[in-house]
Amino acid sequence: MEPILVFPDPPPAELALVLDRAGYPWKAVSVVDQASRLEPEEGWSGAIVCPGGRGEDAFALCRALRKRDLPLEPLLLVIEAGGLTDLELREDLFDDFCLLPVRADELEARLKHLFWRTGRGLRPDLIEHGPLVLNLETYQASLAGRPLDLTYMEYELLRFLATHPGKVFTRETLLSRVWGYEYYGGARTVDVHIRRLRAKLGEEQAHLIQTVRSVGYRFGQARWP
């Protein structure tokens, strides 16, 4: 999945935070020509432009993106309430807009709708179980929007369990499937990592990883709707 083009650099802090927590790759630019110079080989997935105090530069970028041989879509504006008048007679330069301060649920809903409408996929490959979200592309996990500080093997163990909700795995199976057949560690390795994962998930979510007596572990009972 290619990154979203974001203007300006740096973007509003709340916008960057929402994009990072949602797992969207993005790249910010500060001038128009950077959009072409830094564009990935497969092209930008879309653009989010925040005029702020640089309205002329922002709309110049929008015009440049629209005049390309293949106009960039979708293009979302993020503006302050006082900037609504700037949108008059500029409807052709953007596909949708939302207001600052950015709300995560609104931004995600608008992006999802825009990319569905234009037939382009943006949402990264995610595993979601209630408040727990694992991004399979960035190897990141978050709980209720808060990043979890996991080691590589903690993440791999959590990912493996979460992709098989309700299924019970013995410690030996987890060792071979997560650590690999050439790993010579004992079953205690699994127990230690499970204990650390539960601690990092916290008391309210530790139950996601269940112990099946005399057998092993499983992740929950079933996936949330």
Domain boundary among 64, 99, 117: 117
- The reply to whether 107 and 200 lie within a common domain is no
If one counts the domains in the chain, the total is 2
- The reply to whether 133 and 207 lie within a common domain is yes
Q: Per the structure block, which two tokens stand in for 90?
A: 């500029």
- Residue 36, CA distances (Å) to 31, 33, 40, 64, 65 in order: 10, 6, 9, 10, 9
* Candidate from 23-27, 44-48, 97-101, 187-191 with smallest mean pLDDT: 23-27
- The reply to whether 18 and 83 lie within a common domain is yes
What per-residue confidence (pLDDT) applies to 182? 58
- Residue 145, CA distances (Å) to 35, 66, 133, 140, 141 in order: 29, 34, 8, 11, 9
What per-residue confidence (pLDDT) applies to 154? 94
Pairwise pLDDT comparison (50 vs 104), residue with the higher score: 50
- The reply to whether 29 and 86 lie within a common domain is yes
Kindly indicate the confidence band of residue 185, based on its pLDDT and cuts at 50, 70 and 90.
Answer: low
H helices, E strands: number in the chain? 7, 12
Mean pLDDT of 48-70: 91
CATH number of the structural domain spanning residue 90:
3.40.50.2300
Domain boundary among 100, 117, 134: 117
Antiparallel, parallel or unpaired: β 26-28 and 47-49 = unpaired
Mean pLDDT of 147-162: 92
- The reply to whether 197 and 96 lie within a common domain is no
Residue 199's domain comprises 126-219
Please state whether the peptide bond connecting residue 225 to the residue before it is cis, i.e. omega within 30 degrees of 0. no
> Cα 209 to chain center, whole Å?
23
Structural domain includes residue 225: no
Is residue 69's pLDDT more than 90? no
- The reply to whether 111 and 62 lie within a common domain is yes
- The reply to whether 166 and 207 lie within a common domain is yes
What per-residue confidence (pLDDT) applies to 165? 85
- The reply to whether 32 and 95 lie within a common domain is yes
What per-residue confidence (pLDDT) applies to 20? 76
Kindly indicate the confidence band of residue 149, based on its pLDDT and cuts at 50, 70 and 90.
Answer: very high
Quote the percentage of the chain above a pLDDT of 70: 91
Within a 10 A sphere around the Cβ of 90, how many other Cβ atoms? 12
What per-residue confidence (pLDDT) applies to 120? 59
Mean pLDDT of 165-177: 88
